Amino acid sequence: MSLARRRLPWLATALAIAVVAIAAVLLATLMAVLGADLSSCQGGGAFATGPLPDGGAREIPAPRLRLYIGAARRFDLSWPFLASVGVQECGTDGHCGVAPSGCAGVMEIAYVRGSACSPDPTAPTLWERFKVDADGGGASIFDPADSIYTAAHFMRAGLGAPPAGGSYAGYHRVACSYYGACADSAADYANEVMARAERYGFGRESAGAGEAAPPTPAGPICGARASGGGGASGAAIVRIARSQLGTSEFPPGSNCTRYGPCEEWCALFVAWVWQHAGIEMAGGTAPYANSASFYGWVKEHGGRDLPPTATPAPGDAVVYGWGPRAGAHVGIVESVFGSEITTIEGNWGDRVSRVGPFLPALARADGEPAPIFAYAEPPGPGAEAGGGGRG
């Protein structure tokens, strides 16, 4: 069933839930007022700041527009598209409650089990599966921030929306999937969404709101450490890793890349990035070709190994497997947001790819080959040189 509600004229049902809807509106209004400061543990990276874009999107009040832009940056999505869907569902500044269909909130997310929006009473709703606590106050579908961030999460992780800058056709497909149909007797839904998105600046996002790449929050998030190794190397690692996104094997299927020998190369990629960020690792990248080699190496060179339950920092290596002698894959933590992480990984689909956001405990459910068994915090710049075995 679609995440978007169907606009059905069920007057009797609407009257039956009037009390609930009124309570929801009051709750949403209260949370919006309380959350206006946005000074939660997420810090400055959680919501968009700075000048707002010019153009048609100015019809959306600034606080709501910043939520759309911030959520789109967080999940690497087109903000004009996300904003257009929100306006289609609940107006430019609405506080929609629970609809007769069982969808709710400003993005009309499937919320009530056993309803038209979520027919299976035993299965989690889309809200339960993808909910995001955007402002640190506890996830609530009636909080506009949580609803908008959850919709962005669902579009990327559930509907496979293209990243920011993606094609018109790709986003048109997402609009159809979000509503459950491209059009029906009530609305020419997908075309209406895309027309509004173009008026807001779809295809010109980088010129208007500067979201070509999702930002790493400026400071620690909910107790996370600042940067890998306690120095500037964490930010440098992420910057260099991002510069490699899309780099692929050549020829395809050969395991041959710029990062080292022609072999499985996820660990070669991490070693290459760390070295280019100023971390001294003797012998080039080949000695570190085993995905678990970082776990032992950092202990000997000024870094730390952290358990899978720890909060990592941008620039850390995330090691997948079942222990130091049973590594399966490795990547680089790009960003941390609440309880979720985004990574940049080599040899993901034969290329360097961004993965996530995902909950570390559910890494395998998001396509990783094994659970996370550790994070490896790199030593700071200028650490002692040394070698690493294939452990």
Please report, for the domain that includes residue 240, its CATH number: 3.90.1720.10
Total number of domains constituting the chain: 2
Residues 124 and 184 in one domain: yes
So what's the pLDDT on residue 37?
Answer: 30
CATH code where residue 19 lies: 1.10.530
pLDDT category of residue 86 using cuts at 50, 70 and 90: very high
- Smallest Cα–Cα separation from 150: which of 309, 297, 322, 337? 337
So what's the pLDDT on residue 206?
Answer: 58
Mean pLDDT throughout 329-336?
A: 92
Residue 389 forms part of a structural domain: no
Residue 263 forms part of a structural domain: yes
Please determine, for residue 75, whether its predicted confidence score (pLDDT) is greater than 90. no
Q: Which two tokens stand for residue 41?
A: 């543990």
Residue 1 forms part of a structural domain: no
Residues 239 and 186 in one domain: no
Choose the weakest-confidence range: 18-32, 47-61, 67-81, 326-340.
Answer: 18-32
Residues 147 and 242 in one domain: no
Residues 6+ apart with CB under 8 A from 211: 69, 72, 73, 79, 164, 205
**pTM assigned to the model:** 0.48
C-alpha dihedral over 74, 79, 85, 88, to 10 degrees? Answer: 130
Residues 134 and 56 in one domain: yes
Residue 31 forms part of a structural domain: yes
Residues 241 and 362 in one domain: yes
Q: Coil, helix or strand for 89?
A: helix
Q: Which two tokens stand for residue 287?
A: 């000695």
| pLDDT tens-digit readout, 270-320 | 999 998 888 888 888 889 888 888 888 888 887 889 999 999 999 999 999
Mean pLDDT throughout 363-374?
A: 88
So what's the pLDDT on residue 135?
Answer: 74
H helices present in the chain, as ranges: 11-16, 18-34, 62-75, 79-90, 126-130, 144-153, 168-179, 189-200, 205-209, 233-243, 266-276, 293-300
How far apart CA 71 and CA 20 sit, in angstroms, is: 27
| pLDDT tens-digit readout, 160-209 | 999 988 999 999 999 999 999 999 988 999 999 999 999 999 988 754 44
pLDDT exceeding 90 applies to what percent of the chain?
43
Neighbours of 349 (CB within 10 A): 10
Instruction: Supply the range of the domain harboring residue 333.
Output: 228-377
Please determine, for residue 81, whether its predicted confidence score (pLDDT) is greater than 90. yes
So what's the pLDDT on residue 380?
Answer: 65
Residues 6+ apart with CB under 8 A from 139: 131, 132, 133, 146, 150
Please determine, for residue 35, whether its predicted confidence score (pLDDT) is greater than 80. no
Residues 70 and 201 in one domain: yes
Mean pLDDT throughout 227-254?
A: 76
Residue 250 forms part of a structural domain: yes
Choose the weakest-confidence range: 28-42, 240-254, 350-364.
Answer: 28-42
Residue 391 forms part of a structural domain: no
Residues 193 and 50 in one domain: yes
Give 181-248 as a DSSP string.
SS--SS--HHHHHHHHHHHHTTT-HHHHH--SSPPPPSS--TT--SSGGGSTHHHHHHHHHHHTTT-B
Residue 134 forms part of a structural domain: yes
So what's the pLDDT on residue 248?
Answer: 87
Give 299-338 as a DSSP string.
HHTT-EEE-TTS---TT-EEEEESSTTSEEEEEEEEEEET
| pLDDT tens-digit readout, 246-260 | 888 888 888 888 898
Residue 99 forms part of a structural domain: yes
